[in-house]
Amino acid sequence: MNRFTDYYRILDIPPDATPADIKKAYRRMALRFHPDRNKQPGAARIFISVREAYEILIDPEKRAYYDRQYAQYYGQHAGRSATGENNPFYEWSMNAREKAARDARTPYSAFERKLLHELGLAAGLLPNLLALFLSLSAMAAGIQISLDFLKQKQYGEAVTGLFLILFFVYASLRLLYVAKQEYLYRKYYRKSGT
């Protein structure tokens, strides 16, 4: 049976997407649909499709071949043999699926690390650190004000201050986590030189 799969649609990118766009789209989708993390039915199928699409589109030779099939299918709407067993696509597709199955069996954290090393991501760090600084300042101010209220035996205001301190502690931890992640992504992004 002759079949055609729209890899651009699977990765949600335009046909003229650059390799960097493909990497970004793949990383986003693969992390989102990794079966170890995403327990929704259908996630594993999507994960395998995403990996298959990435394997084909990131390789210039495979992509050129695929683009011809793509143009044939969407241009003339003839599409005779995009993934039939007589063309190299069948083998490429099967190889990509085997890799996807291996990745799907990898624990999510290990897969995320692997992707970080392979692909990376550009992200600004300065706004995160600014927010972290503001949050820590607010926390310090909250502690000072709450202590003052306690000294004046205004317990109601002190409890309100305590809630604010708790919020800023959580916010600081969360901001630190986000900043750290964006730093790691940027570091590997620069390393990969894409």
Partner 1 sequence: MKAFFLINLGLSLLIALLAGRKRKIGFFWSFFFSLFFGWFLGFIVTMMSRRREFPDTPPWPYQQVLGTLWAALWGMVAVSLLFPYEGFDYATCMALCFAGGNAGLGVFLVLKSKENDTKSLENKNKFPERLDH
Task: Report the site for partner 1 in 31-60 (rule: CB under 8 A).
Answer: 31-33, 37-38, 40-43, 45-46, 49
Query: Positive or negative, the Cα torsion across 30, 31, 36, 39?
Result: negative
Cα–Cα distance for residue pair 107/40, rounded to 1 Å: 16
- Window of 29-37, 58-66, 143-151, 152-160 that interacts with partner 1 by CB under 8 A: 29-37
When the beta carbons of 24 and 51 are compared against partner 1, the nearer one is 24
**Contact map string, positions 83 to 112, toward partner 1, x by CB under 8 A:** x----------------------------x
Cα–Cα distance for residue pair 6/74, rounded to 1 Å: 10
Query: Positive or negative, the Cα torsion across 178, 181, 185, 187?
Result: positive
**Contact map string, positions 123 to 142, toward partner 1, x by CB under 8 A:** x---xx-xx--xx--x----
When the beta carbons of 77 and 153 are compared against partner 1, the nearer one is 77
Amino acid sitting at position 7: Y
- Window of 3-11, 56-64, 96-104, 149-157 that interacts with partner 1 by CB under 8 A: 3-11
For residue 121, the number of C-alpha atoms closer than 13 Å in the C-beta half-sphere is 18
Cα–Cα distance for residue pair 31/13, rounded to 1 Å: 17
Which residue in 7, 9, 42, 12 sits closest to 24, CA to CA? Answer: 12
Query: Residues interacting with partner 1, by CB under 8 A?
Result: 1-6, 9-10, 12, 24, 27-28, 31-33, 37-38, 40-43, 45-46, 49, 79, 83, 112, 121, 123, 127-128, 130-131, 134-135, 138, 171, 174-175, 178, 181-182, 185
